[in-house]
Amino acid sequence: METTFTPFASLAGGAMIGLAAVLLMLLRGRILGATGILSGALRPSDPQDWTWRVLMLTGMLCGPWIYFAAVGTLPAIDVPVSTGPLLLGGVLVGIGVTLGNGCTSGHGVCGLARLSPRSMSATVTFMIATGLTVYVLRHMLGV
């Protein structure tokens, strides 16, 4: 499925993601990582620690509707795979981000911005693994 290259919207959206990471650090002193926020919210320890995670998640869920209020349509969500691969992918992502302690937001945005060697090696590894997986699925197996 073809998608349109959107340099300006993507740069602006990216800047908003970066600004959100800076705000969470300024306000709560935390890394904005979707993996860590979700993982901690699923395992309530003390109420203080749980509250900020649930507030972040609630805010994230509102994102498409704020977009809707501004633009008049919901953002496109085209899932180019069937249910089986979608579920398999979901389980693998869950295993991977738990073992690797982070994903695209925690390692990819915050970790790179902190110049963390750990996050840099994680990001390079998952970008290469994703690229190889897409290549094998689309161009070798023809899925």
Partner 1 sequence: MRNLLTLLTGMLFGTGIAISGMINPAKVLNFFDVAGAWDPSLAFVMGGAVVVAFIGFRIVLRRTRPVFEPTFKVPSNRAPDARLLIGSGVFGIGWGIAGFCPGGALPALGTGNLDVILFVAALIVGMVFTRMITSH
What is the closest distance, in whole angstroms, from the C-beta atom of residue 140 to partner 1 in the complex? 10
Query: Considering only residues 47, 72, 117, 142, which one is a binding residue for partner 1 as defined by CB under 8 A?
Result: 117
Can residue 58 be called a binding residue for partner 1 (CB under 8 A)?
A: yes
Nearest-CA neighbor of 103 among 27, 4, 36?
Answer: 36
Total of chain residues touching partner 1, rule CB under 8 A: 109
Query: Considering only residues 45, 46, 47, 61, which one is a binding residue for partner 1 as defined by CB under 8 A?
Result: 61
Taking residues 62 to 101 in sequence order and writing x for each that binds partner 1 by CB under 8 A, - otherwise, the string is xxxxxx------xxxxxxxx-x-xxxxxxxxxxxxxxxxx
Residues of 23-42 as b/e, b for ≥16 C-beta within 10 angstroms? ebeeeeebbbbbbbbbbbbe
Give just the sign of the alpha carbon dihedral 133, 135, 136, 141.
positive
Query: Considering only residues 16, 46, 50, 141, which one is a binding residue for partner 1 as defined by CB under 8 A?
Result: 16
Radius of gyration of the chain (CA): 17
Can residue 26 be called a binding residue for partner 1 (CB under 8 A)?
A: yes
What is the closest distance, in whole angstroms, from the C-beta atom of residue 85 to partner 1 in the complex? 5
Q: How crowded is the C-beta side of 29, counted as CA atoms within 13 Å?
A: 1
Can residue 46 be called a binding residue for partner 1 (CB under 8 A)?
A: no
Nearest-CA neighbor of 17 among 4, 32, 7?
Answer: 32
Can residue 50 be called a binding residue for partner 1 (CB under 8 A)?
A: no
Can residue 44 be called a binding residue for partner 1 (CB under 8 A)?
A: no
CA angle (126 as vertex; 123, 130 as ends), nearest 5: 140
Can residue 113 be called a binding residue for partner 1 (CB under 8 A)?
A: yes
